[in-house]
Amino acid sequence: MAQHLKSSSSRSTLLNVLRHNLGLGSPSHASRHLRHNLPHNPPSTRVSPNPLTRLCNTMVDTLSSTSSHEDANSQVMDFPGGKVAFTPEIHFISESNEQRVPCYRVLDDNGQQLTDSRFVPVSEEVAVKMYSDMVTLQMMDNIFYEAQRQGRLSFYATAFGEEAINIASAAALSPQDVIFPQYREPGVLLWRGFTLQEFANQCFGNKSDYGKGRQMPVHYGSNKLNYFTVSATIATQLPNAVGAAYSLKMDGKEACAVTFFGDGGSSEGDFHAALNFAAVMEAPVLFICRNNGWAISTPTSDQFRSDGVVVKGRAYGIRSIRVDGNDALAMYSAVHEGREMAIREHRPILIEALTYRVGHHSTSDDSTRYRSADEIEWWNKARNPLSRFRTWVESNGWWSDEAESDLRSRIKKEMLEAIRVAEKTEKPNLNHMFSDVYDVPPLNLREQELLVRKCVKSHPQDYPSDVPL
Amino acid sequence: MAARIHVGAGAATALSTFNSKKLVAPPSRTNLPARSSKRYIVAAAGSDGSKKSLLRVRHSQKLIANAAVATKAETSATTGTGHELLLFEALQEGLEEEMDRDPHVCVMGEDVGHYGGSYKVTKGLADKFGDLRVLDTPICENAFTGMGIGAAMTGLRPVIEGMNMGFLLLAFNQISNNCGMLHYTSGGQFTIPVVIRGPGGVGRQLGAEHSQRLESYFQSIPGIQMVACSTPYNAKGLMKAAIRSENPVILFEHVLLYNLKEKIPDEEYICNLEEAEMVRPGEHITILTYSRMRYHVMQAAKTLVNKGYDPEVIDIRSLKPFDLHTIGNSVKKTHRVLIVEECMRTGGIGASLTAAINENFHDYLDAPVMCLSSQDVPTPYAGTLEEWTVVQPAQIVTAVEQLCQ
C-alpha cells in the first residue's frame, strides 16, 4: 500500500478515484455542497486501532486489491474541506511569524526612487494631478479645520498624513469602480472631480448639498462619482462593498468595489465577515486598510495582537499586501495591481497601507492628550507623503517651486470663496426633513410635518432664519 | 377566502365599504407602478363587487383551529379557476414570478440555495436561476444583510432571508443604520430596495431564542416598511409588492403558518403593502390582529357569533405604517377596539397601535382600547407553558364580552 502512495502519479490517480467515488467534485463554486457518500461495505481487512486510519484503509482497500500496513505519515485524509496530511508531531503554529510581513515601497524616506524598486509607471499628467490633488486635499483639510475652530463649521475630520493613500489609490482606479469609504477618504472624491464648492456645501449642509443637509460634515456621497455616502458606523461599509462587488460580478462589469477602513475598523465583526464572504463569493473587491496607528486614542498595540492587518487576509483565503501608505507610487502600484487581480480573477484583495494619523481623530479630539507632540511633528515633517512624492515628481522635471506656490495660492483663494458661498447659501427647505425617508412620504410623516410647521408658525423667533419653510 | 377582489394602489376595497358614506378613498401611493392596475381582476362572480359578494365572503370564511396544521380550505363555487397551495409555496411562487420578471431580483441567505431554505421557501430556485442569483452565504447575518444593502445600492433587488427572524437581531446595525438611513442621508441619491424576510413568532417548542417577535424591535426604525403575511393569498401578494417597492421592506412570516392551504388565483396579483385586510366585517367591536393571532381571533369569533356578538376582524397586515384609514373607519363604526397580538406587552405592535388609536380616534371610543399580548417573559420551552404565553381564543372571547358590556 505504501508503495502505491509513494509513487506520486499512482497516488494522485488513487486519490482522484477516491475523490470521485466519494462524490467530491472539483473545487468549483458549484461544488460547495459536497456530500460524503462513504462506501458501505468495507471488505475484510485487519482492523487498525485508529478509526481514521481504519476508514482510510477501508476506502483505499475498496479501490486497490493489495493491502499492507503503512505508517501514519504517508496517509492523507479527505475531511470535508479537502485533504490534509497527518503529522505525528504535536506542533502549535506560532502566533506570529519570526519576521513581520515586509512593506512594499518605491521611494525612500527622502523621496528618492529605490534602485531595485518595481512599480507601475505613471505619466507626467497623472503624477502632476496626483501631487496637486494631495496638496489640495491638505489645504482643504487645513482650511476646513480652521473654519471649525472659528465656529463656522460644526465638525470636521482631517486626513493629514494620509494624502498619498487617498489620492494614489483613487488614481489607480477607474471611475466605474464603486467606493465605500469610512470617513477619511475625501481625496478619492477630490480625484474624481468633486469640487471644493461641493465639499463646502456638504460641510455647511446647505441646499446645494447632495445629501440635503442631513448628515454631519465629511459624510460625503455622490452617486454620479460612484462614491457611496459615508455611514458613520465603523466597518458597516465592508459588507456593503462585498454586496456591490457581487452585483458588479452578476452584471459582468469591468469594475470592482473598493472599500476603506482603519486599523480600528479591522476589529469590528463586519470586517471579518466581509472578508470571509468576499472570499467565498469570489467577489471583486479591494479592502484597503489605512493602518494609521490610532483609533481615536487606542494605539494598534491595544487594537490587535496580530502582525497588523495584512496577515488576517490569509486567514480568510485572501491575497494580501502590505504597502508604505505614505509612498504615493507604492500605493498607486499596489492598488493598480490589486484591482487587476480582483477584476480579472474575481477575487478579493486586502491592502494594508501603513501610515500615520497626523491630525487629531476629529475636531472633537485633542490627540496630544494621549500621544507626544514630538511624535506627531516627526511624522508630519520627516515622513510627510507630500514632500516625498514632490521630490520624485520634481526629479522628473515635472514640478517646480513656482508651480507649488501658484497651486497653493489658487487653492487657498478657491477654498475661501467656496466657504464664503457655502456659508451664505440657505439651508434646505424644511420639507426635506421628511422627504426621502421613504420614496413617498406616508401619512404619519405628512402629519408630523404639518405639526412642525404649525409649531414654527406660532414660535417664529425660535426658528432659524436660514432654513426656508 | 373565496371572493377575491384584487386591488391596486389607493383604491378602496369593496370588502370595507360598509359605511360607504363615511369612506374616503385613501390618498394614492406611487410605490406601485400605475400600469400594474391592468392586472387587477375581480375573481368573485358578483360583477359590481358589492354587498352580494361580501356576504359570500362571510359565509365561506374558513376558521382554522390552532393555525398550525394545514386544513383544506372551503372552496367556494365562485372560484372555478385558481390553484391550491401551501403558504410557503405561495411565497415561493411570488418570489419566482418576480425573479422571472426582473433579472435584478436575487436571493441571499443561509441555506437558501440547493437546500431550498430551512422552510423551503426558496426550493428549486437555485436550480432554475443559478448559484449566483440564489446565494448561499456564510453564517453572519450582519454581513449578508450588509451585502444585500450594498448590492441594492448598486442596482440589484435582493431578497434577504433570515433563517429565523430572531437571527436578524445580529443584522440590526445594518438594518437600522444603513438600510433605513442611507436613502435619507445620501439625499435620495441611493435607494435600497431590499426585502428582508423570514419566519418569526412563537412556534412549537422552539425555545426562547427561536421564538422572537422582531416587529417590536424594528418598528421604530425610520425608513423601513414592515408587513406581516397570514394567508397564502396575502403571502404571495405581499412578497411581490415588497420586491417591487423602492423602500426597504421587512416581511414577517410565521413559523406555524407555512403549511396553511388555500386556493389562490392563477392570474397575477399584488397586495397593497400599506393596507389592512378586512377578514370579517361586523358591528359590535373591532378586533385588530395580524399573523398567527388572526386564526386565534377567528376561532374566538366563531364562539362569539354563537353567543350573539358581531365582531369585525381586521388583519392589520401593514405593521409600519399602520393603515389608520381602514382601522379608523372600523373604530368609527364599532366604537370598541380589541388588539390581539403575539408581541410582548411592553413595546410591541399592540402598544404602538393602542397609542395611535387613542391619539387619532379618542372621540369615537366607548371603552378603553384593550390589548391582549404575550407576557413579558422569554418563551419557555415546555409546551404547556409556551401555550400560555400566547393569547388563546378563550381569552379573546372573555375580552370581547368584557368590552361589550
Report the b/e string of B234-252 with b at 16+ CB within 10 A.
Answer: bbbbbbbbbbbbbbbbbbb
The predicted complex's ipTM stands at 0.77
Convert the pLDDT of each residue in A231-246 to its tens digit: 999 999 999 999 999 9
Within-domain flag for A252: yes
Burial tier of A26 (Cβ tally within 10 Å: 0-12, 13-18, 19+): exposed
Assess whether pLDDT exceeds 90 at residue A46.
no
A250·B174 Cβ contact <8 A: no
A243·B154 Cβ contact <8 A: yes
Convert the pLDDT of each residue in B97-133 to its tens digit: 999 999 999 999 999 999 999 999 999 999 999 999 9
Within-domain flag for B101: yes
When CB atoms are compared, the residue of B27, B142, B148 closest to A269 is B142
Answer yes or no: do A197 and A288 share one domain. yes
Within-domain flag for A364: yes
Convert the pLDDT of each residue in A170-187 to its tens digit: 999 999 999 999 999 999
> 3-class secondary structure for A38-86?
CCCCCCCCCCCCCHHHHHHHHHHHHHCCCCCCCCHHHCEEEECCEEEEC
Assess whether pLDDT exceeds 80 at residue A165.
yes
Evaluated on CA atoms B169, B170, B176, B181, the torsion sign reads negative
Among B379, B230, B222, residue whose Cα is nearest residue B314: B230
Within-domain flag for B67: no
Distance CA A229, CA B191 (A): 11
Instruction: Out of B265, B299, B322, pick the residue that ends a domain.
Output: B265
Work out the pLDDT band at A60, boundaries 50, 70, 90: low
Residue A49: the pLDDT is 52
Chain A positions in Cβ-Cβ contact with residue B142 (cut-off 8 Å) = 236, 239, 269-270, 273
Answer yes or no: do B293 and B376 share one domain. yes
Per the structure, the count of domains in chain B is 2
Residue A81: the pLDDT is 85
Answer yes or no: do B120 and B196 share one domain. yes
Evaluated on CA atoms A373, A374, A379, A384, the torsion sign reads positive
The boundaries of the domain holding residue A446 are 430-459
Answer yes or no: do B233 and B349 share one domain. no
For A338, the grid coordinates are 490589486
Minimal Cα–Cα distance from A132 to chain B, Å? 28
Work out the pLDDT band at A38, boundaries 50, 70, 90: very low
Q: Residue B167 in contact with residue B109, Cβ under 8 Å?
A: no
Answer yes or no: do B230 and B165 share one domain. yes
Answer yes or no: do A434 and A420 share one domain. no
Residue A53: the pLDDT is 55
Q: Scan residues 279-338 of B and list those with Cβ closer than 8 Å to A.
A: 321, 324-325
pTM of the complete model: 0.80
B150·A280 Cβ contact <8 A: no
A373 in B contact zone (CB under 8 Å): no
Convert the pLDDT of each residue in B185-214 to its tens digit: 999 999 999 999 999 999 999 999 999 999
For residue A102, give the DSSP letter.
P
Residue B33: the pLDDT is 39
Minimal Cα–Cα distance from A52 to chain B, Å? 28
Within-domain flag for A76: no
Q: Scan residues 8-47 of A and list those with Cβ closer than 8 Å to B.
A: 29-30, 32-33
Within-domain flag for A211: yes
Looking at every residue in chain A, the average pLDDT score rounds to: 88
Answer yes or no: do A352 and A452 share one domain. no
Residue A3: the pLDDT is 42
Within-domain flag for A215: yes
> Which region among A197-201, A292-296, A461-465 has the lowest average model confidence (pLDDT)?
A461-465
A438·B223 Cβ contact <8 A: yes
Q: Which of B89, B110, B141, B341 is catalytic?
A: B141
Evaluated on CA atoms A207, A208, A210, A216, the torsion sign reads negative
Answer yes or no: do B164 and B232 share one domain. yes
Give the gyration radius of chain A's Cα atoms: 29
Within-domain flag for B213: yes
- B210 as an active site residue: the answer is yes
Minimal Cα–Cα distance from A281 to chain B, Å? 8
Answer yes or no: do A338 and A436 share one domain. no
Answer yes or no: do A420 and A450 share one domain. no
When CB atoms are compared, the residue of B31, B190, B321 closest to A228 is B190
Q: Scan residues 91-150 of B and list those with Cβ closer than 8 Å to A.
A: 106, 113-115, 131-133, 135-138, 140, 142-150
What is the CATH classification number for the domain harbouring A156?
Answer: 3.40.50.970
Within-domain flag for B258: yes
**pLDDT > 90: what percent of chain A?**
78
User: Among A270, A439, A449, A450, which would you mutate to test the B interface (most chain B Cβ atoms within 10 Å of its Cβ)?
Assistant: A439
Within-domain flag for B58: no
Per the structure, the count of domains in chain A is 2
Distance CA B236, CA B266 (A): 12
Within-domain flag for B96: yes
When CB atoms are compared, the residue of B114, B191, B246 closest to A33 is B114
When CB atoms are compared, the residue of B138, B154, B191 closest to A247 is B154
B143·A274 Cβ contact <8 A: yes
Answer yes or no: do B94 and B240 share one domain. yes
**Catalytic positions of A:** 357, 361, 370
Within-domain flag for A317: yes
Assess whether pLDDT exceeds 80 at residue A40.
no
What is the CATH classification number for the domain harbouring B120?
Answer: 3.40.50.970
B147·A243 Cβ contact <8 A: yes
What is the rounded average pLDDT of the residues A330-344? 98
Backbone angles phi, psi at A143, to 5 degrees: -70, -40
Interaxial angle between packed helices A237-250 and A269-281, expressed in degrees from 0 to 180 and rounded to the nearest 10:
10
Q: Residue B361 in contact with residue B355, Cβ under 8 Å?
A: no
Cβ-Cβ contacts under 8 Å for B362 (sequence gap 6 or more)? none
DSSP secondary structure string, B332-396? HHH--EEEEEEEESTTSHHHHHHHHHHHHHGGG-SS--EEEEE-SSPPPSSHHHHHHHSPPHHHH
Interaxial angle between packed helices A385-395 and A328-345, expressed in degrees from 0 to 180 and rounded to the nearest 10:
90
Work out the pLDDT band at A73, boundaries 50, 70, 90: low
Answer yes or no: do B163 and B292 share one domain. no
Within-domain flag for A62: no
A250·B132 Cβ contact <8 A: yes
A211·B185 Cβ contact <8 A: yes
Within-domain flag for A93: no
Answer yes or no: do B251 and B327 share one domain. no
Instruction: Out of B219, B237, B265, pick the residue that ends a domain.
Output: B265
Chain B positions in Cβ-Cβ contact with residue A243 (cut-off 8 Å) = 146-154, 156, 158
Work out the pLDDT band at A368, boundaries 50, 70, 90: very high
For residue B92, give the DSSP letter.
H
When CB atoms are compared, the residue of B29, B133, B149 closest to A243 is B149
Answer yes or no: do B177 and B310 share one domain. no
- Please list the pLDDT of chain B residue by residue as tens digits (405 residues): 443 333 333 333 333 333 333 333 344 443 433 333 333 333 333 344 344 433 333 333 333 333 333 333 444 444 568 999 999 999 999 999 999 999 999 999 999 999 999 999 999 999 999 999 999 999 999 999 999 999 999 999 999 999 999 999 999 999 999 999 999 999 999 999 999 999 999 999 999 999 999 999 999 999 999 999 999 999 999 999 999 999 999 999 999 999 999 999 999 999 999 999 999 999 999 999 999 999 999 999 999 999 999 999 999 999 999 999 999 999 999 999 999 999 999 999 999 999 999 999 999 999 999 999 999 999 999 999 999 999 999 999 999 999 998
Q: Scan residues 397-436 of A and list those with Cβ closer than 8 Å to B.
A: 435-436
Chain B positions in Cβ-Cβ contact with residue A211 (cut-off 8 Å) = 185-187, 189
Within-domain flag for B167: yes
Instruction: Out of B199, B233, B265, pick the residue that ends a domain.
Output: B265
Answer yes or no: do B215 and B151 share one domain. yes
Q: Scan residues 156-215 of B and list those with Cβ closer than 8 Å to A.
A: 156, 158, 173-174, 177-178, 181-191
The boundaries of the domain holding residue B351 are 277-404
Residue A48: the pLDDT is 53
User: Among A250, A271, A276, A432, which would you mutate to test the B interface (most chain B Cβ atoms within 10 Å of its Cβ)?
Assistant: A250
Distance CA B144, CA B152 (A): 12
Within-domain flag for B60: no
Answer yes or no: do B319 and B213 share one domain. no
Beta-carbon contacts below 8 Å between A and B: 174
Answer yes or no: do A326 and A447 share one domain. no
Cβ-Cβ contacts under 8 Å for A247 (sequence gap 6 or more)? B150, B151, B154, B155, B156
Answer yes or no: do B256 and B389 share one domain. no
